Amino acid sequence: MKKLKILDELMKIVEGLKKEGKKIVFTNGCFDILHLGHIRYLREAKKLGDTLIVGLNSDNSVRSLKGPNRPLVKEKDRAEILSALEVVDYIVIFDESTPKNLIDKIIPTVLVKGGDWREEEVVGRDTVEAHGGKVIIIPEVKGYSTSALINKIQKAS
């Protein structure tokens, strides 16, 4: 998995990309069960710059956000699945409940979140905007969410 990086490795890459004038796009999420909504979201995020970095919530982080029965898919497996997507350039796993520390270090040109977020609520917005970057909200793909998919599977069982 060449795309999965620890933060120190990623910072060296980001530094080089910035020197080349590349536009860094950052997004984050659990990506517990990858579905069409995720694919469309990541495609749109990639269009906003040259390099797409995905901050992936660790298993501990997902549990703290979603409850003891999540994630359904382990972090290394989720990272490998994401790394198979051509639109994703790099993945970094984080253990906190928010990607604030990552964003403060990476300082992306564009910070992307899904349509279930309001711009003023986006974690890291202050850092990105203070450095001349912008926050973009990509509309949700209606009918596609991991929680909805889990409910559908449970009803079918």
* Sequence ranges of the domains in the chain: 7-156
Average pLDDT of the residues in 133-142: 91
Alpha carbon distance 115, 99 (integer Å): 18
**Range of weakest confidence among 13-27, 41-55, 72-86, 114-128:** 114-128
- Give residue-wise pLDDT tens across range 78-102: 999 999 999 999 999 999 999 999 9
pLDDT of residue 49: 98
Q: What band does 145 get if pLDDT is binned at 50, 70 and 90?
A: confident
Measure the CA–CA gap between 86 and 44, rounded to whole angstroms.
Answer: 13
- Indicate the pTM of the whole model: 0.93
CATH placement of domain 7-156: 3.40.50.620
**Which pLDDT score is estimated for 116?**
84
CA nearest neighbour of 29 among 154, 155, 140, 132:
140
